[in-house]
Structure 1
Amino acid sequence: MFARTVSRRVLAGATLAAGGYAAFALQRDRSAHNEVHVSIPLKAEAPAIPSRSELLDKMAKTDQFDVLVIGGGATGTGCAVDGATRGLNVALVEMNDFASGTSSKSTKMAHGGVRYLEKAFWELSKAQLDLVIEALNERGHMLNTAPHLCKVLPIMIPVYNYWQVPYFYVGCKMYDLFAGSQNLKSSYMMTARRASEVAPMLDASILKAGLVYHDGSFNDSRMNAALAVTAIERGATVLNYMEVTRLLKNEKTGRVEGAMARDRETGKEFRINAKVVVNSTGPFSDRILQMDNAKDGLPRNDLVQFANEGHDSIGSRVAVSNPRMVVPSAGVHIVLPAFYCPKQIGLLDAKTSDGRVMFFLPWQGKVLAGTTDIPMKQVPENPTATEADIQDILKELQHYIKFPVKREDVLSAWAGIRPLVRDPRTLKEGDDVSSTQGLVRNHFLFTSDNGLVTIAGGKWTTYREMAEETIDEVVKQGHFQAKPCITKKIKLAGAEGWDPNFVAMLAQEYHLSSKMAEHLANNYGTRSPIICEMFRRDEKNQLPVTFGGRENVTVYKNVNFDSFRYPFTIAELKYSVKYEYTRTALDFLMRRTRFGFLDAKQALEAVKGTVSIMGDELGWDENKRLSEIQQASDFIKTFGV
């Protein structure tokens, strides 16, 4: 009787509570319905930023910076943002352009790593599991700080054996579970019929099911540029094309106290004094470590030499020979036409013929496929994809694509160096530097006896946490009174005031096509109205960069109007020169836009137009223009064309 009474009371209470909540929810929905949503007005302006010459002048006049960051990739620029927002006086120098190395050649995924989760369970590895959880957490921060550049992407795992269905299903659900509050969307299973409808290019006759999970997809080099610009807007002195030629050391203690850097545009040398120096040069970390080990702070004479054997012979000079900290491997990606993959969902081949994982992802209107994992003995300056690498990916793709996979469909191909790292202090003279023993699967941070802070390893998704830990170490080494880290919450350049309806707002305000509005919004965010105002002022600014410098397009014979398929305009080029520190044609064609990565042949056609516009904007003479055309053309030709 007592139990029955309690049950009735609980049931009655639950009913009343449910009814009350329903009434509350209904009233809330009515209130929300009656509210008028006012969108943030479009602003055709950006915070005032110093020119490159002003940044150089600031660098020359600053007696001592709190911290000098060497390297302008993802982690380096992340350190600059973190340090500047904590109140430190930050300088950053990059030998080439922002994201000119590994940071522009990633798989474009903000992800935790499903394969690491699988390894964690099979190997009972807490370290692997921690890596997954860390990356899943940071994935959410990337989507928050740059929502215009980072998007949620569903990825389907085609299943060809019934016994794999529960295996992959549990794996996807565990992936959701470990993401916790940062989980993007719940994974789910598709029937074979539904999977073949979503991905008609798959062979439905052998398909048993499809498992779908969610990760993030992003534009890596544009995010890198956004980090650099954000750091400058927060007060940091950030410069590309500044090469460190020597580490400055205290004569008595040997402690690193700055660096000598050469402006590669003018040849002028700058002395940069800093209380703490950070080595954030990715695959090139050993080069700076070798300077740290040298009493005079100078690089070794044999650092740059020509490779002549094996995979290292692909037309590139070696930047670091016999690295001790970095154990490099080459990851090759190719870009294919959109029909190789569904437009709104990626594909993951969970187990290739040689045990690797292959991604086939929709990206920028094309399909990104990869990647290989080829061990290397040296670190090349500009790694390139070999024909064998390209054929390897195509061969794997053909295993489950119904139509013929053709080499001529490859629009672009490139290689990036994936730096696995180890503690170089554990190696002795004569040890085998190519050994994988002692490798750190996560990032690695340490401070040398001379006070040089080095951060290496990791991946794009965890750049922010790597930067936070690095600046924590900088604060400790420099005994600074710094503010707390806020990089989990700040919005990067172009993300301020972002609205999910920004594409529609842009199209309506400036009468743009849906394709152009989406392109501008998803690449420049809330700063795209600046480009749209250039469209309004001069119709020539709406033309693709291929036609740069041509006063009247109609008088030119053999004009390739395929260029209009790619919405990379003259206005975007002018914007990138003024607001994003674009200094060469390759900066624009490869990194501020992804033209060369998406279609190398078409990007090659755009070189002369790009140089013509940039030459006018930057005051280049004829020799400089010819040199730029030659260098850009030679580089783009290495992208699989």
Structure 2
Amino acid sequence: MFSRTISRRIAATTLVAAGGYAGWNLRPAQDHIYHNEARNDVQTAELNPARPPSPPTRSELLNRLSKTAQFDVLVIGGGATGSGCAVDGATRGLNVALVEMNDFASGTSSKSTKMAHGGVRYLEKAFWELSKAQLDLVIEALNERGHMLYTAPHLCKILPIMIPVYNYWQVPYFYVGCKMYDLFAGSQNLKSSFLVSKGQATEIAPMLDGSKIKAGLVYHDGSFNDSRMNSTLAVTAIEKGATVLNYMEVLQLIKNGSTGKVEGAVVQDRETGEQYKINAKVVVNATGPFSDRILQMDKDPKGFPRNDLIQFANEGHTSIGSRVAVSNPHMVVPSVGVHIVLPAFYCPKTMGLLDAKTSDGRVMFFLPWQGKVLAGTTDIPMKQVPENPTATEADIQDILKELQHYIKFPVKRSDVLSAWAGIRPLVRDPRKVKEGEGGSTQGLVRSHFIFTSDNGLVTIAGGKWTTYREMAEETINEVVKQGHFNVKPCITKKLRLAGAENWDPNLQALLAQRYHLSSKMAEHLANSYGTRASMICDMLEDGDLNKLPVTFGGREDVTVIGNVDFDSFRYPFTIAELKYSINHEYTRTALDFLMRRTRFAFLDAKQALAAVPGTVSVMGDELNWDASRREREIKDTQEFIKTFGV
């Protein structure tokens, strides 16, 4: 039996090698298909800033919510998939409402590995396990990677990643694997993978121990800003006509008294306590790791949640006092992935590193991101779904220990600038799991999973960031089927998101020239806001908005843009950017700005702590907070940021 298994794997690998080599050499040369479409002639490039109409205020969206007798679809959950559903539904002509209990990307969608990728490790599994299903997942994600790069070129960039090779026999193995990865990307391949010598590998990554390296394989994937992508989706949905609101908690599902069909939800504005009854023809549960919470409401005859949903966790991988969002999940099989952020000298500035196999068999990434290095991830199974999972010291030390195997200089705990944990759910068909089988893996689905309950509730769960668009498309297809709607075709493959309109790869230079910005500030604004960066730049010309308070720059003076080189500051965040996020991106709390509209706390939690009082001061003036609200906001924000490995 053992010999047959080995023979089959050797035969499969040989076939893959031959087919990959032939396929690669016979296929026509590929270029950056999406990037070519976006390029303009450098000689004629001009700054043509997008000036969208002023977005509806929160009050106007709430008014729309209360005055609409019935929406076509109500989406519960404002993460990547939920926001993607709102964009897809609105652009097909549906009247869409979306409610999110916290902020957009406040959970899993802001705590990813920041990669738009097909998954080289999944490709390896596909061939070793002779799994067509795994291979289909890789091909699906590679296609969607291309769509992300096209629809949001300011937020998604091509990133070369090097796999250091430490044994000569691994060279052909990794080479064939990378070439197959290119091959399955088809017309949307980003760049050809290539082999580098030992000398080239150590030149690319001098921080690695060159005495152990035999060669390196370089392949290409996408890197992106996850929470900004999420808020951009929400803004795009609103601009396409959807009613999208954060900080709206679902208290009860509305059910038809005679049929039990789900026909909407009762939601509460967490800012004011006011309740709204939202009627909808179809309701979508897109709450990710918290899917079971809504499914439990669906099971209740009156649509209420279970009484034991909120309790205090006592698990090793949640902080003391961390609340459990879902106990004994039926559909979701949760696990925790931990990431840390390190200074830039831990990784090449323009190329990531992939440890193909750690000491315990996992894959570890070390990626340049936002001027720092993102390292991770762990994969720790959990029994409950915590509301706010946090990275433990053991998790942080685990990543640092693995990193020290390859880095020449000492890897220090004091270099950790931030650390966080996110729930990465695998899902299973809840109809195939009996009550009490919480830990069972029966019916486990590696991809995303969509199903409609007997009461008409459409649930979408699983998957990953890279495939959010396809997940949303398939979900709205199911919505159309359930609601018997007559809609336009899906257009999201080619829909430029907010900030990508008229995008030009020379935007950074154009902003620097037009507004006399430093390269660091121009890069930050171009890569965060795309063509809408000029709206912030216009605000920066106001003497009161172009300042760097002590809380943002880590200095006690206040300096205007005209008199300072922003490269001397670690983080180029200004009051103008904060006000823009309040007025154009629905920032409602200090955490929204410090963690998600900007990535300050993810990049440097200690510096972000110092930014809290100044942020609250500006927001308090803008949103008319009283003294008690300001005090509470400072306290809550600082307590939360302290859980980020500080």
Q: Same-fold call, TM > 0.5? A: yes
> What's the counterpart of residue 524 of structure 2?
519
8 A contact 2:317–2:389 mirrored in 1: no
Give the alignment partner of residue 626 of structure 2, picking from 610, 616, 621: 621
Which one-letter code corresponds to 1:598 in the other structure?
A: L
Question: Does residue 333 of the first structure (1) align with residue 303 of the second (2)?
Answer: no
CA-to-partner distance for each residue in 1:476-498, whole Å, 9 max, x for gaps? 00000000000000100000000
- Distance between the aligned counterparts of 1:107 and 1:568, measured in 2? 23
8 A contact 1:314–1:383 mirrored in 2: no
CA-to-partner distance for each residue in 1:216-255, whole Å, 9 max, x for gaps? 0000000000000000000000000000000000000000
> What's the counterpart of residue 586 of structure 1?
591
Alignment of 1:5-404 (within 5 A): 37-43=43-49, 45-404=51-410
- Distance between the aligned counterparts of 1:216 and 1:301, measured in 2? 43
State the Cα distance separating 1:569 from its structure 2 match. 1.1
8 A contact 1:447–1:454 mirrored in 2: yes
Q: Secondary structure at the match of 2:334?
A: strand
Q: Secondary structure at the match of 2:479?
A: helix
8 A contact 1:346–1:360 mirrored in 2: yes
Which one-letter code corresponds to 1:439 in the other structure?
A: L
State the Cα distance separating 1:310 from its structure 2 match. 2.8
Which one-letter code corresponds to 1:292 in the other structure?
A: D
State the Cα distance separating 1:40 from its structure 2 match. 4.3
Question: Does residue 427 of the first structure (1) align with residue 426 of the second (2)?
Answer: no
8 A contact 2:318–2:392 mirrored in 1: no
Aligned length: 600
- Distance between the aligned counterparts of 1:545 and 1:290, measured in 2? 47
> What's the counterpart of residue 506 of structure 1?
511
8 A contact 1:304–1:320 mirrored in 2: yes
- Distance between the aligned counterparts of 1:126 and 1:407, measured in 2? 42
Of 235-244 and 562-571, more deviation after overlay is shown by 562-571
Question: Does residue 474 of the first structure (1) align with residue 479 of the second (2)?
Answer: yes
Question: Does residue 490 of the first structure (1) align with residue 495 of the second (2)?
Answer: yes
State the Cα distance separating 1:452 from its structure 2 match. 0.1
State the Cα distance separating 1:427 from its structure 2 match. 1.1
Q: Secondary structure at the match of 2:409?
A: coil
State the Cα distance separating 1:315 from its structure 2 match. 4.0
Give the alignment partner of residue 607 of structure 1, picking from 612, 623, 626: 612
- Distance between the aligned counterparts of 1:125 and 1:192, measured in 2? 34
CA-to-partner distance for each residue in 1:607-637, whole Å, 9 max, x for gaps? 0000000001111111110010001000000
State the Cα distance separating 1:552 from its structure 2 match. 6.8
- Distance between the aligned counterparts of 2:642 and 2:552, measured in 1? 20
CA-to-partner distance for each residue in 1:568-612, whole Å, 9 max, x for gaps? 111100000000000000000000000000000000000000000
> What's the counterpart of residue 567 of structure 1?
572
8 A contact 1:338–1:365 mirrored in 2: yes
> What's the counterpart of residue 562 of structure 2?
none
State the Cα distance separating 1:48 from its structure 2 match. 2.3
Provide closer, same or farther for how the CA distance between residues 342 and 421 of structure 1 changes in structure 2, counting only shifts above 3 A: same
State the Cα distance separating 1:436 from its structure 2 match. 2.1
Of 215-224 and 563-572, more deviation after overlay is shown by 563-572
8 A contact 2:46–2:510 mirrored in 1: no
8 A contact 1:305–1:318 mirrored in 2: yes
State the Cα distance separating 1:179 from its structure 2 match. 0.2
Q: TM-score, normalised by structure 1?
A: 0.92
State the Cα distance separating 1:543 from its structure 2 match. 1.6
State the Cα distance separating 1:537 from its structure 2 match. 1.7
> What's the counterpart of residue 20 of structure 2?
none
- Distance between the aligned counterparts of 2:573 and 2:318, measured in 1? 33
State the Cα distance separating 1:49 from its structure 2 match. 1.2
State the Cα distance separating 1:260 from its structure 2 match. 0.2
8 A contact 2:286–2:460 mirrored in 1: yes
8 A contact 1:314–1:384 mirrored in 2: no
8 A contact 1:73–1:103 mirrored in 2: yes
> What's the counterpart of residue 9 of structure 1?
none
> What's the counterpart of residue 539 of structure 2?
534
Q: Secondary structure at the match of 1:615?
A: helix
State the Cα distance separating 1:538 from its structure 2 match. 1.8
8 A contact 2:47–2:511 mirrored in 1: no
Q: Secondary structure at the match of 1:472?
A: helix
Unaligned runs of 5+ in 1: 1-34, 555-560
Q: Secondary structure at the match of 2:90?
A: helix
8 A contact 1:59–1:272 mirrored in 2: yes
State the Cα distance separating 1:532 from its structure 2 match. 0.6
- Distance between the aligned counterparts of 1:520 and 1:309, measured in 2? 41
Q: TM-score, normalised by structure 2?
A: 0.91
Q: Secondary structure at the match of 1:565?
A: coil
Of 71-80 and 46-55, more deviation after overlay is shown by 46-55
Provide closer, same or farther for how the CA distance between residues 275 and 398 of structure 1 changes in structure 2, counting only shifts above 3 A: same
State the Cα distance separating 1:37 from its structure 2 match. 4.3
Q: Secondary structure at the match of 2:440?
A: coil
Q: Identical aligned pairs, as a percentage? A: 82
8 A contact 1:343–1:362 mirrored in 2: yes
- Distance between the aligned counterparts of 1:37 and 1:484, measured in 2? 37
Question: Does residue 576 of the first structure (1) align with residue 581 of the second (2)?
Answer: yes
- Distance between the aligned counterparts of 2:231 and 2:107, measured in 1? 13
Q: Secondary structure at the match of 1:434?
A: coil
State the Cα distance separating 1:201 from its structure 2 match. 0.4
**Runs of 4+ with deviation above 6 angstroms:** none
State the Cα distance separating 1:36 from its structure 2 match. 8.5
* RMSD of aligned Cα (Å): 1.7
State the Cα distance separating 1:639 from its structure 2 match. 0.1
Provide closer, same or farther for how the CA distance between residues 301 and 126 of structure 1 changes in structure 2, counting only shifts above 3 A: same
8 A contact 1:312–1:378 mirrored in 2: no
8 A contact 2:545–2:574 mirrored in 1: no
CA-to-partner distance for each residue in 1:190-212, whole Å, 9 max, x for gaps? 00000000000000011000000
8 A contact 2:447–2:463 mirrored in 1: yes
8 A contact 2:520–2:567 mirrored in 1: no
Provide closer, same or farther for how the CA distance between residues 446 and 545 of structure 1 changes in structure 2, counting only shifts above 3 A: farther
State the Cα distance separating 1:392 from its structure 2 match. 0.2
- Distance between the aligned counterparts of 1:453 and 1:395, measured in 2? 43
CA-to-partner distance for each residue in 1:539-566, whole Å, 9 max, x for gaps? 5424257269x99749xxxxxx999310
Of 302-311 and 320-329, more deviation after overlay is shown by 302-311
Q: Secondary structure at the match of 1:311?
A: coil
State the Cα distance separating 1:308 from its structure 2 match. 1.4
